[in-house]
Chains A and B, each alone.
Chain A
Amino acid sequence: MVDYEVMVGNKACAVACKLARVNVAAAFPITPQTSITEYLSELYASGEMPGFEFVNCEGELPAQVIVNNAALVGARAFTCTAGPGLQYMHHPMASTAGGRCPLVMAVVHRGIKSMQPDHSDLMSQQWTGWIHLYVENAQEILDTIIMGYKIGEDARVRLPVAVGYDGYVLSYTAEPVEIPPQEMVDKFLPPYKPPRSLIYDDPEASIGRGGGFRSGDPNYAWMMHNEGALNAEEVIKEVFAEWAKLTGRKYGTGMVEEYKTEGADVVITAMGTVAGSAAAAIDKLWKDGKKVGLVKIRSFLPFPRADFQRIAKNVQAIGVFDRSLQPGMGGPSYREIKNTLYDSNVHPVVAGFVGGLSGKEVTVKNFVDLGEKTLEYAKAKKADAHPIWV
């Protein structure tokens, strides 16, 4: 039976772990992630999760090592962290991905320079080779954690998945969440059966469990890792389509979710919770006769290249909003979109907006302005220099 409950984002995350029948969770509490560990502890203590071990670690680094090894021996593993905790976890994260250990980690965004949220924490982990998904609301957290296991455990991918969502404004915000029945989730997500060897069963590839090489071609492990990361796109699309069929909740293609892009002159992009406010702004803009669509980027890694090459064909400008900034290099999704369009034969104006850093509030009004500015850039066929501050 489908159940509903008004719950905060962090609880939705813990409930998803229960539904996914997670075997091992290891974490160190850090605001704004702490209440996930509290809910998991409660679930452990109440005995509602048979076969579940919860490890209260002495820090994030050991937490990542524990889930890494748990996944390696065939457990379905979960961890969660935020901001500086994620940075402390950086070192073993690379070997989780390199060792091809599929697990899911919730990253409750907290800026790397402040307590308040921006995407700089997860963005700073791009090189560890995980799959990075960004979500907007509590329902999407629950759905995406469950789907994350199916994506990561797929033989074509075999990679850990990070699900990022904003601290405070989502982690502590209560809203109605539909809890899918356990039987349905069990059917969707069968128990994890690790391959005989998690590392490709190839005698040529004598790869260490962290993804390093022991003999043979040192590039080999990286080639395989890269292949898995690229395969993730088709797997994400398949898994999201299957979930949509089961639950009726459709998140676009899984890679991107479009809102009122049909017939739009320009589109704006957003990731994570701010996409909700952006959608409200889009409604206002259309009411005023301004044809602005929204593309919510759900997967940052792999980046939705094909989707943006398709979308670019129908619009005059793309206003990209980034909630993180690499000083001197710019916003990450702005750079990726420009990079993607270089390979296509259509080149709309791409404007790169940056805002919401260190928890600065991003309002509906901000996105209305952003949409109007993008329309102006489309008319002028030229955008201001990146970054355009919001």
Chain B
Amino acid sequence: MIEIRLHGRGGQGAVTASRIIAAAAFEDGLYSQAIPMYGTERRGAPLTAYVRIDNVRVRERELVHTPDYSICFDEFISMNQTIANSMKPGGIVLANSKFKPEELPLAGDIKIACVDATGIAIKHLGRPITNTAILGAFCKLCPEVSLKGVEKAIYKYFPGRVGDMNVAAARASYEQVTDLITAKNKEPPKQVEEIVSGGYGALKDVSGWRVFEPVIDEEKCIGCKTCWIYCPEAALEWTANNKPAMISRACKGCGVCANECPVKAIEMVRVQVKK
């Protein structure tokens, strides 16, 4: 039996991806099971999903605790040791990252491959929904799941033109995935920074949820406060010189401010993940 764990955020399509993998494996003549795990699900909040693939009907219905594969849909979470923890010996981690696999700070008896799924998704879908943009890469690493099966399954979930776009993303990631490398550091660090899954509010930090963040052009800004009124998270503060400023820990990068600005003084710019 193959067990897969998926890490992502609400809105990246990790749950749909788990179902596409299950459907693809079934297309390839295997039994499968896809379990999503969410609490109060919402866009941006970290979540996990699980898939089992076997040649007999899968009966166990616990979450996957020691996966063979760990797939991460989010650039920030890809930098977190959590995705490489409690894997089976020699397990494979597929991370969404622009970096080379040896540049990721992941340790353990694991192998790592990377693909810039966010880049592929923005190119092919026009938005950072990274699920199909990582599944192609996964097919290359997992011999049990074929790209053909995944393409068939994608069309089941997204018929027509949307399906074409997603299949193109899957094919691109199949081509672009890096080679597998063995993690240099066999011993994982004792203390792992937890992925913040808590909600928003005064004390919570959601800065890791952003794929894009607002950059304000103070020259263009007329100080009308429209952005400040519309921000759903009260993540804009008003400065002394009558201009808005982003509160980094509170902004989820939804883009409402940029959309509402009457003079287009706010631009959403892709966040650069630091090593």
Residues of A within 8 A of B (CB): 4, 6, 8, 115, 136-137, 168-170, 172-176, 273-274, 276-277, 279-280, 361-364
Besides A6-B19, A137-B61, A168-B37, 16 other CB < 8 A contacts? A6-B26, A6-B34, A172-B36, A173-B36, A174-B19, A174-B33, A175-B32, A175-B33, A176-B31, A276-B61, A277-B60, A279-B59, A279-B60, A280-B59, A280-B60, A361-B63
User: A176 contacts B26, CB within 8 Å?
Assistant: yes
User: B26 contacts A361, CB within 8 Å?
Assistant: no
Bound together, the chains give a CA A173 to CA B57 distance in angstroms of 14
User: A6 contacts B62, CB within 8 Å?
Assistant: no
Bound together, the chains give a CA A174 to CA B51 distance in angstroms of 9
Closest to B30 in A: A176
Tell me if B216 is interfacial: C-beta within 8 Å of chain A: no
Closest to B40 in A: A115
Bound together, the chains give a CA A176 to CA B56 distance in angstroms of 11
- From known contacts A6-B32, A169-B35, A363-B65, infer whether A175 and B59 are also in contact, taking CB-CB under 8 Å: no
Tell me if B224 is interfacial: C-beta within 8 Å of chain A: no
Contacts of A280 in B (CB 8 A): 59-60
Least distance between B147 CB and chain A CB atoms (Å): 18
Contacts of B132 in A (CB 8 A): none
Contacts of A168 in B (CB 8 A): 36-38
Contacts of B39 in A (CB 8 A): 115
Closest to A139 in B: B57
Q: How many residues in B have their beta carbons less than 8 Å from beta carbons of A?
A: 24
Least distance between A82 CB and chain B CB atoms (Å): 16
Tell me if B23 is interfacial: C-beta within 8 Å of chain A: yes
Contacts of B23 in A (CB 8 A): 6, 174
- From known contacts A6-B32, A363-B65, infer whether A175 and B22 are also in contact, taking CB-CB under 8 Å: yes
User: A276 contacts B36, CB within 8 Å?
Assistant: no
A-B contact pairs, 26 of them (CB 8 A): A4-B26, A6-B32, A6-B153, A8-B19, A115-B39, A137-B59, A169-B35, A169-B61, A172-B35, A172-B36, A173-B34, A173-B36, A174-B19, A174-B32, A174-B33, A174-B34, A274-B61, A276-B59, A277-B62, A279-B59, A279-B60, A280-B59, A280-B60, A363-B62, A363-B65, A364-B62
Closest to A282 in B: B59
* Contact residue among B26, B33, B38, B59 (Cβ-Cβ distance under 8 Å from A173): B33
Contacts of A175 in B (CB 8 A): 22, 31-34, 58
Bound together, the chains give a CA A277 to CA B57 distance in angstroms of 12
- From known contacts A6-B19, A6-B22, infer whether A170 and B61 are also in contact, taking CB-CB under 8 Å: yes
* Contact residue among B32, B37, B38, B60 (Cβ-Cβ distance under 8 Å from A276): B60
Contacts of A115 in B (CB 8 A): 39
* Contact residue among B34, B58, B61 (Cβ-Cβ distance under 8 Å from A273): B61
Bound together, the chains give a CA A362 to CA B61 distance in angstroms of 9
Best-surrounded residue of B31, B34, B61, B62 (most CB of chain A within 10 A): B61
User: B61 contacts A173, CB within 8 Å?
Assistant: yes
Bound together, the chains give a CA A328 to CA B65 distance in angstroms of 34
B 208-221 to A, binary, CB cutoff 8 A, 1 in contact else 0: 00000000000000
Contacts of A363 in B (CB 8 A): 62, 65
Least distance between A221 CB and chain B CB atoms (Å): 40
User: B22 contacts A174, CB within 8 Å?
Assistant: yes
Contacts of B57 in A (CB 8 A): 176
Closest to B58 in A: A175
Tell me if B18 is interfacial: C-beta within 8 Å of chain A: yes
Bound together, the chains give a CA A169 to CA B34 distance in angstroms of 9
User: A362 contacts B32, CB within 8 Å?
Assistant: no
Bound together, the chains give a CA A172 to CA B63 distance in angstroms of 13
Closest to A281 in B: B60
Bound together, the chains give a CA A3 to CA B58 distance in angstroms of 19
Contacts of A277 in B (CB 8 A): 59-62
Closest to B25 in A: A6
- From known contacts A6-B19, A6-B23, infer whether A173 and B35 are also in contact, taking CB-CB under 8 Å: yes
Bound together, the chains give a CA A207 to CA B63 distance in angstroms of 50
Least distance between B60 CB and chain A CB atoms (Å): 4
Bound together, the chains give a CA A280 to CA B18 distance in angstroms of 22
Contacts of A172 in B (CB 8 A): 15, 35-36
Best-surrounded residue of A6, A115, A136 (most CB of chain B within 10 A): A6
Contacts of B19 in A (CB 8 A): 6, 8, 174
Bound together, the chains give a CA A172 to CA B34 distance in angstroms of 8
Bound together, the chains give a CA A276 to CA B22 distance in angstroms of 18
User: A361 contacts B32, CB within 8 Å?
Assistant: no
* Contact residue among A136, A279, A361 (Cβ-Cβ distance under 8 Å from B62): A361
Least distance between B180 CB and chain A CB atoms (Å): 28
Bound together, the chains give a CA A140 to CA B57 distance in angstroms of 13
Bound together, the chains give a CA A170 to CA B35 distance in angstroms of 8
User: A174 contacts B18, CB within 8 Å?
Assistant: yes
Closest to A366 in B: B62
4 smallest A-B Cβ distances: which pairs?
Answer: A280-B60, A6-B23, A276-B59, A174-B34
Contacts of B61 in A (CB 8 A): 136-137, 169-170, 173, 273-274, 276-277
Contacts of B26 in A (CB 8 A): 4, 6, 176
Least distance between A370 CB and chain B CB atoms (Å): 14
Contacts of B59 in A (CB 8 A): 137, 276-277, 279-280
Contacts of A273 in B (CB 8 A): 61
Bound together, the chains give a CA A357 to CA B39 distance in angstroms of 16
Bound together, the chains give a CA A6 to CA B29 distance in angstroms of 12
